[in-house]
A and B are shown apart, each in its own frame.
Chain A
Amino acid sequence: MSFQGNVEILLVEDNPNDLELALHALKKHNLANNIQIARDGVEALDFLFGEGSFEGRLVTDTPKVILLDLKLPRVNGIAVLERVKADPRTRNIPVVVLTSSREDPDVATCYKLGVNSYIVKPVDFEQFVKAVQQLGLYWLLLNQPPQV
């Protein structure tokens, strides 16, 4: 898995369709360049904490936002969220939960754990923009200077 130093979005999603739809929405607005993809909870944690296949990556080199699906193989999204929010080095990374339903009771659990926002899948760009606005990351993520 390749990675660069300036990852801006960590997208954690196991469903290939959902992943493709999300990437499509972001790509359309030129946001796919600095996206790191993780396909399960373990991979996400490895990336964030510089473990496993991401051995040697600096923990302090945090993404600007994490888009986190809850239903994940191996380690689920709730567990990932818990670990991220428990560690002082990663605690301040904004986490946006991807949920399949507005009625999902897990969303309430996530808010208790300190999640910052949620997006109902499929991730369309409008929703993403709304969430990013809520997080105050709007300028950082969307109005970045044109790519060289």
Chain B
Amino acid sequence: MFATAAIERRVAVGFLIVLIGVIVIGGITLLSAHQLTTNNALVVHTLDVLNELENLLIIAIDAENGHRGYVITGSQEFLEPYNIAVAGLETQLDRIDAMTSDNPSQQSRAEDLRSLFVQRMDILRQTIELRDEQGADAAIRRVATGEGKALGDQIRTLIADMEAEENALLVQRSADAESSSRFAVVLTLFLVGGLLALLTAVYVVIQRDSRSRRRAEIVLQDARNYAESIVNTVRHPLLVLSEDLRVRTANRAFYDTFQTSAAQTEGRYLYELGGKEWDIGPLRALLTDILPHNTPLEDFEVEADFFQIGRRVMLLDARRLYREGNHTTQLLLAVEDVTDRKQAEAQIRQLNHDLEARAQHLEQANKELEAFSYTVSHDLRAPLRAIDGFSRILIEDFAPSLDASAQRYLGIVQQNALQMGALIDDLLAFSRLNRQSMRKQPVDLAKLAHEVIDALKSEVEGEGADHQVEFVVGDLPVCEADPALLRQVFSNLFSNAVKYSRKRDHAVITVGCVNDTNDVNDANTANGSNGKQPVIYVKDNGVGFDMRYASNLFGVFQRLHRAEDYEGTGVGLATVQRIVQRHGGRIWAEAEPDKGATFYFTLAENGENADHDGNGGTT
């Protein structure tokens, strides 16, 4: 992973920096040690030079003292130090010469010293020879010239100069040595400090990295556990296959479903599992195809006799899995046992098929019913027409030859034929209601009510009614409805109201609307009404009826009054109810014998016609 690589690189860089730091410190320490040694060697050398200069001075003094003693005493014994000095002088001068070879000024002084010593030794030797040849006095005179002493003084001065120079050098070199050693200490301290800081930094980085790595490992482990728990919780069997379709792992659902174990599954080829029921050519080809082309396998159906569990239908889905960790490609194979679902589907298909057959049957029955209705309307009516028509001819054309009771009987025959014709008409109209398609559109109920009332009034007047009928139309909404069907509703309800109030001297028929069904004292309103949908009512002050028989009100051919009191076929209210129901509404009534009746109806269950603020007042 990228993060790991970054951490490793950071640690490597840190260590490299520390390594370079150590090398630099080592080099600097070595260099300063070397510098220290060099400076110390120079100090020692200077001390050596000073020492040798002292020795030279001693030689000079020994030579003079020896010579002086010999001059005074003439004793060979005194000449001994002089001889030693002369013998060592040349060597000592050479030594000093060599030792000062690095210093030009000292070198030239050394040259001068050498020539001074040559002259001085010449004088000493001449004085000694003078003592030997001419005696002490001559020699003393010679000394007394001061020539020798001057040379001796010059030598001493020169040596003192050289010593002063060397002493100055000594001071200089000591200071150099000290400063370079101090510098080395400071530098070392500084570098060690830096190194420590660097090491600390590297330590912190490593520490942090290792902590984050530990955290990453925890996350990874967590993810692995999570994935594992998912895989084991999934109710579908899952298989992880290697590239050669060998089972790497399977989940619990797989073992449960196929009633097998890890031992019988892991490491085996897919097509060798169980009773080789997985050995399906096309499946193998498809699975092999997934690896190079990454084409997912979806909904591959396998129906086979599975080892242990019998004939099942399995639905397979497969995906390629690329494992970053070890750069391998694997296959995830998900299995779903759809046997039950398939069975259920087949059952549903069968049910659908049955339903379709039944629907066809029903359609057939409907068609037969229609044909039957047609037959009824045409063929059943033909004999009725004959009965009615010829009865009428008898009454109209042969009245003189018929006595009163014969005429009355013929009248009854004719009336019954007409009644049966009306029954057939109503019944046909009622049965057609269910088949007729609805054409809903906004209908102004008030306008419709007025139209129906006008038609009814002219009819009533045509019959020469002897009682007064007053219609009151309250506020009525505009509703989504089939206008022709709704006209039928009003027509039936109004003519009923007229019919059952014709014994009133002053019949009042009110049509209106209430919005709140709670205003309406009706046992049926509790279910489904939301209290906001308009409720249309038609109220009369006629004979009413006994509420005990209200349940028969809307049944076909059900009547609450005797035919000789109020004519009718018993289809009108059934038709009204059917129309209201087809609009999604309800109808109910309340009445009391001799105190009038009120019919209520709604047109839609969900109050979609609520575009009205009607408060059903009378006008």
Contacts and interface: CB of A to CB of B under 8 A. Distances in A.
Interface of A: 15, 17-18, 21, 24, 71, 100-104, 121-122
A21 B385 CA distance: 9
Contacts of A71: 378
Interface string B546-566: 000000000000000000000
Interface in B325-372: none
Which 10 residue pairs spanning A and B have beta carbons closest together? A17-B386, A21-B389, A122-B389, A100-B381, A122-B385, A101-B377, A100-B378, A71-B378, A103-B429, A103-B428
Given A71-B378, A101-B381, A103-B377, A21 B428 contact: no
Contacts of B389: 17-18, 21, 24, 122
A103 B425 contact: yes
Given A100-B378, A104-B377, A18 B385 contact: yes
B377 A24 contact: no
Most buried by A among B377, B388, B389, B390: B389
B385 A121 contact: yes
Contacts of B429: 103
13 contacts: A15-B382, A17-B386, A18-B382, A18-B385, A21-B389, A21-B390, A100-B378, A100-B382, A100-B385, A101-B378, A101-B381, A101-B425, A122-B385
Contacts of B377: 100-101, 103-104
Contacts of B424: 101
A25 to B, nearest CB: 9
A24 B395 CA distance: 14
B455 interface: no
Contacts of A103: 377, 425, 428-429, 432
A121 to B, nearest CB: 6
B390 A101 contact: no
Nearest to B426: A103
Contacts of A122: 385, 388-389
A47 B381 CA distance: 29
Contacts of A15: 382
B385 A17 contact: yes
Contacts of B144: none
Nearest to A123: B389
B393 interface: yes
A101 B385 contact: no
B159 to A, nearest CB: 160
Contacts of A18: 382, 385-386, 389
Interface string B384-407: 011011100100000000000000
Nearest to B428: A103
Contacts of A121: 381, 385
A43 B386 CA distance: 24
A100 B389 CA distance: 13
A55 B432 CA distance: 44
Contacts of B386: 17-18, 21
Interface in B398-453: 424-425, 428-429, 432
B415 to A, nearest CB: 15
B440 to A, nearest CB: 20
Given A100-B377, A101-B425, A103-B425, A17 B432 contact: no
Contacts of A24: 389, 393
Nearest to B380: A100
Nearest to B377: A101
Given A103-B428, A104-B377, 5 more contacts: A17-B385, A21-B386, A100-B377, A101-B428, A103-B425
A109 B64 CA distance: 175
A57 B428 CA distance: 42
A15 B386 CA distance: 10
B427 to A, nearest CB: 10
Nearest to B432: A103
